[in-house]
Amino acid sequence: MTVPTPTPSSSSPHLLVRAARGEPVERTPVWAMRQAGRWDPEFNRVRAGMTFYEFSENVEKSAQASLCPRRFGVDGIILFYDITTLPVAMGQSYTLQPHHGPVPDHPIRDFDDLEQLTALPDPRSYQHIRDLLAQVKAELRGELPILVFAGAPFTVATYCIGTGKNIDATRQFAREKPDLWDALLDRLTGATVQFLSTLASDGADMYQLFDSWAGMLTPEEYDLWAQPQHRSIFSMVSTIPRILFVKENPYLDRMAHSGADIISLGKRHSLAEAKAQYPHLVFQGNVDDDLMQTGTPEQVAEATRRCLEEGGGHRHILNLSHGMDRSSPVANFEAFVRTAHTYTPSTRAE
């Protein structure tokens, strides 16, 4: 199996970035989706007293939230904002409803509503995210790399129309208003490219595209509403490593041909098989996120060791199959990160 030889210019001081580029690393790097979230009491202290959108637009507070997981020993910091940050910057306002998630104050229903979203947002409308990046970068002083992210057009569109993960309602909208649906996806694709390019030029080290709900699509729908959009975003924003996440990713082969450098792998896939099947790719994952809620620290450590073993210490970034949930005990996250620091896979492949 041949692995592309890294050019000297590609080497980075950061373990996570080197692993993301498929370069040899001394240890498998670790981070987690929702590593800054309600499961962490420190985060809750910082988060208290403001609505979600007030909080995520407050640079001081969101910088503190982004940096909360640093104390656990993670190898990268994901900036604290949300996938709805982009439609908010484009002009659509949201409220975070408890036990539900982000709900648009005025869901898009027709072409007039679509005009709520400016076609290409003025970068000043997300200046707070650029400032957040600058502030977190200044505080880290090169200690850790910074991940930025965007929702993919399909998943963000489900929030814009107010259906979220209710796939039947999304389908019904797309069936009844195909022209509006296509126009919405196009508009979000252009804005996402601009948003991620801006953050990459500002000095973000990697980015992740979240198409959380695209795994519920049929293959035909995925080929219309997810794959072309992933391909155009990845081809247009290619200066830093690109990660693709789709919850439970049933369409692994399409993801492998999306232009992403790194695929976030769900728990139903075998990491070793995915690595063997796609030798040009790096895989991120895939410890069961439910175990983080229901397991003991010993069980988490055991699952983490198995995952590190399958990853073989190369072309692997340790992560969860989905995000940390609010009921996950801190001790489980500690066990997850500690195992990444202390366990060396016996199968280490160079």
- CA–CA separation, 8 and 6 (whole Å): 6
Nearer of residues 40 and 310 to ligand 1CP, judged by Cβ? 40
Nearer of residues 94 and 234 to ligand 1CP, judged by Cβ? 94
Enumerate residues 203-232 that contact ligand 1CP by CB under 6 A. Answer: 210, 212
Q: Which stretch binds ligand 1CP (CB under 6 A): 5-13, 76-84, 105-113, 195-203?
A: 76-84
SS3 for 126? helix
Tell the smallest beta-carbon distance from residue 82 to ligand 1CP (Å).
4
Q: Is 165 in the site for ligand 1CP (CB under 6 A)?
A: yes
Q: Is 76 in the site for ligand 1CP (CB under 6 A)?
A: no
Among 6, 101, 107, 329, interactor with ligand 1CP by CB under 6 A: 101
Residues near 137 by Cβ (< 8 Å), separated by ≥ 6? 146, 203
Q: Is 80 in the site for ligand 1CP (CB under 6 A)?
A: yes
Enumerate residues 112-151 that contact ligand 1CP by CB under 6 A. Answer: 149
- CA–CA separation, 83 and 227 (whole Å): 18
Q: Which stretch binds ligand 1CP (CB under 6 A): 74-82, 110-118, 282-290, 341-349?
A: 74-82
Q: Is 169 in the site for ligand 1CP (CB under 6 A)?
A: no
Q: Which stretch binds ligand 1CP (CB under 6 A): 95-103, 220-228, 230-238, 329-337?
A: 95-103
Nearer of residues 189 and 314 to ligand 1CP, judged by Cβ? 189
SS3 content of the chain, % helix, strand, coil (to 5): 50, 10, 40
Which residue, 104, 107, 88, is CA-closest to 96?
104
Nearer of residues 289 and 310 to ligand 1CP, judged by Cβ? 289
Enumerate residues 6-45 that contact ligand 1CP by CB under 6 A. Answer: 33-38
Nearer of residues 149 and 343 to ligand 1CP, judged by Cβ? 149
Cα-trace Rg, the chain: 19
Sheet holding 206-210, edge to edge: 77-78, 146-151, 206-210, 242-245, 262-265, 282-287, 316-320
Task: Go through the chain and tell me how many residues it has.
Answer: 350
Nearer of residues 68 and 281 to ligand 1CP, judged by Cβ? 68
Q: How far is CA 167 from CA 106, 155, 172, 252, 333, in A?
A: 19, 10, 9, 20, 31
Residue nearest to ligand 1CP (CB): 101
Q: Is 102 in the site for ligand 1CP (CB under 6 A)?
A: yes
Enumerate residues 316-345 that contact ligand 1CP by CB under 6 A. Answer: 323
Helical segments of 122-249, H only: 127-140, 153-160, 167-176, 178-201, 219-225, 227-236
Q: Is 96 in the site for ligand 1CP (CB under 6 A)?
A: yes
Q: Which stretch binds ligand 1CP (CB under 6 A): 78-86, 133-141, 172-180, 281-289?
A: 78-86
Helical segments of the chain, H only: 15-20, 41-47, 52-56, 59-67, 85-90, 111-114, 127-140, 153-160, 167-176, 178-201, 219-225, 227-236, 252-256, 271-277, 289-294, 297-311, 330-342
Q: Give the chain's end-to-end CA distance (angstroms, integer).
A: 11
List contacts with ligand 1CP (CB under 6 A): 33-38, 47, 52, 78, 80, 82-83, 96, 101-102, 149, 164-165, 210, 212, 247, 323
